[in-house]
Amino acid sequence: MRYGASNTAEAVNSAFLFIFITCVALLALITCLMIAFVIKYHHSRHTQVVNIKGNAALEVIWTVIPTILVLIMFYYGVAGFRVMRVGPANAFQVHVTGRMWSWLFTYKNGIQSDTLKIPVDTTIKTVISSQDVLHSFFIPAFRIKQDAVPGRENHLYFKAYRVGSYDVMCAEFCGLRHAYMLSKVEVMPKQAFFDWYAKNKPKELPKVKPGASRTAQLAARGAQLVQLKGCTTCHSADGSKKVGPSFKGLYGSMVTVATRGKTRTVTADDAYLRRSILEPGADVVKGHLNIMPSQKGLLTDEEAESLIAHIAGLKGGKAEQ
């Protein structure tokens, strides 16, 4: 019988159940003894104290029995843990990337998605990493969690038992919008999943051709990239205020920034935008925190160009900063 939304949930639930029952029994024992003694030996009833200094046999018993109990708990914990850490070589692999403050799921065939779609009854191997600070990939329904650490890959296996949609959260504090770093796991029937998987294989992006339409093509590409790269969690395109300055009206405007602690005013030209994207710490826009994750190494040259073209296209009306 399966009791839980996944094999990991099943393992955690059964370990928890054993420990929980043992703990409740121990707590009840101590509490009842305490209350019974307090009543029975209350000074209004009992004045003839007996100064018992100890009892070696009792000391041994109440050292040995808890030791055995905790060793069983330890065993249960390790057994359940193996389910998450050891999986078959043919497990279906998905890369999970944490970044301030969104999740990105990347599949072997190149699909990228902001929700995690997976087939039911299939062992999934998640390879978890981060682009900036620590995050923690947490699916409460599956009882699993693994930190996303920049510069390293952590692994976690699980197999979902039921089709449905489950919450994904970030469990490691990661800054201002930590509580909003949410997503969903969509567990799909196998057939439906593999249909989606085959259909959404990203097409080769058309080569950008030189000529008059080049900027337009780049800007169109940039409009997709701001979604995919997670820029929109912090930057709006319509002048509304988010964590970062809005892109609207940014291009060509005068921006007040702090460069190594000194305040100066610069024009937001191509070079400035490129620097802002690749080394956000170099010029920090006044009134904002220096928390933008650097995109160095995460963007190709053409992608950077596309983003700049996209931002340049969002002229008109000075944005509120």
Partner 1 sequence: MTAAVIAAAPREPSYLAYRGRYSGILGWIFSLDHKRIGVMYLIAQAVFFLVGASLGVTMRLQLMRPDNHLVQPQVYNALFTLHGVIMIFLFVIPSLSASFGNFFLPILIGAKDVSFPKLNLMSWYLFMIGAVVALMSLFTGNGPPDTGWTFYVPYSIRTSTNVVMGLTGVFIIGFSSILTGLNFITTVHRLRAPGMSWFRMPLFVWALYATAWIQVLATPILGITLALVVVERLAGVGIFDPAKGGDPILYQHLFWIYSHPAVYIMILPAMGAITEIIPTFSHRTIFGYKAIAMSSMAIALLGSLVWGHHMFVSGQSDVADITFSLLTFLVAIPSAVKVFNWTATLYKGSIVLEAPMLYALSFIFLFSIGGLTGLMQGALAVDVHLHDTAFIVGHFHYVMFGGTGFGFFAALHYWFPKMFGRSYSDKVARLAWGILFVGFNTLYFPFLILGWLGMPRRYYTYSFPQFASLEMLSTVGSWILVTGILLMVGNFLHAALKGARAEDNPWGGVTLDWKIPSPPPLENFEQIPVITQGPYDGFEGQAPR
Buried b (16+ CB within 10 A) or exposed e, 196-226: ebeeeeeeeeeebeeeeeeeebbbbbbbebb
Q: Which residue has the tokens 């919450």?
A: 167
Interface region with ligand HEC, contact rule CB under 6 A, candidates 10-18, 86-94, 154-162, 230-238: 230-238
Q: Between 149 and 188, how does the x/- string for binding to partner 1 read (CB under 8 A)?
A: xxxx-x------------x-xxxxxxxxxxx---------
Beta pairing partners, 262: 259
255 part of the interface to Cu ion, by CB under 5 A: no
95 part of the interface to partner 1, by CB under 8 A: no
The whole-angstrom distance between residue 252's C-alpha and the CA centroid of its chain comes to 36
Interface region with partner 1, contact rule CB under 8 A, candidates 103-111, 211-219, 287-295, 305-313: 287-295
Q: Are the CB atoms for 103 and 132 separated by under 8 Å?
A: no
The span from the CA of 77 to the CA of 104, in Å, is 30
- Sheet containing strand 164-170, edge to edge, reads 116-119, 183-188, 164-170, 135-139, 144-148
Judged by CB under 5 A, the residue of 5, 118, 181, 291 near Cu ion is: 181
The span from the CA of 321 to the CA of 314, in Å, is 15
Residue type, 211: G
Min separation Cβ 268 and ligand HEC, Å: 6
The whole-angstrom distance between residue 228's C-alpha and the CA centroid of its chain comes to 16
Judged by beta carbon, residue 4 or residue 245, the one nearer ligand HEC is: 245
The span from the CA of 234 to the CA of 132, in Å, is 14
What, of ligand HEC, partner 1, Cu ion, none, does residue 214 touch, CB below 5 to 8 Å by kind? none
Interface region with partner 1, contact rule CB under 8 A, candidates 76-84, 213-221, 228-236, 299-307: 76-84
23 part of the interface to partner 1, by CB under 8 A: yes
Q: How many CB atoms lie within 10 A of CB 268?
A: 21
Interface region with ligand HEC, contact rule CB under 6 A, candidates 19-27, 62-70, 113-121, 268-276: 268-276
What, of ligand HEC, Cu ion, partner 1, none, does residue 312 touch, CB below 5 to 8 Å by kind? none
Size of the site for ligand HEC (CB under 6 A): 28
Among the listed residues 83, 105, 107, the one whose alpha carbon sits nearest the alpha carbon of residue 96: 105
Judged by CB under 8 A, the residue of 2, 3, 21, 27 near partner 1 is: 27
Distances (CA, A) of 124 to 116, 128, 257, 267, 291: 11, 12, 45, 48, 32
Min separation Cβ 294 and partner 1, Å: 7
262 part of the interface to partner 1, by CB under 8 A: no
DSSP classification of residue 133? S
Judged by beta carbon, residue 172 or residue 283, the one nearer partner 1 is: 172
Interface region with ligand HEC, contact rule CB under 6 A, candidates 22-30, 103-111, 200-208, 223-231: 223-231
Residues that bind Cu ion (CB under 5 A): 135, 170, 174, 181
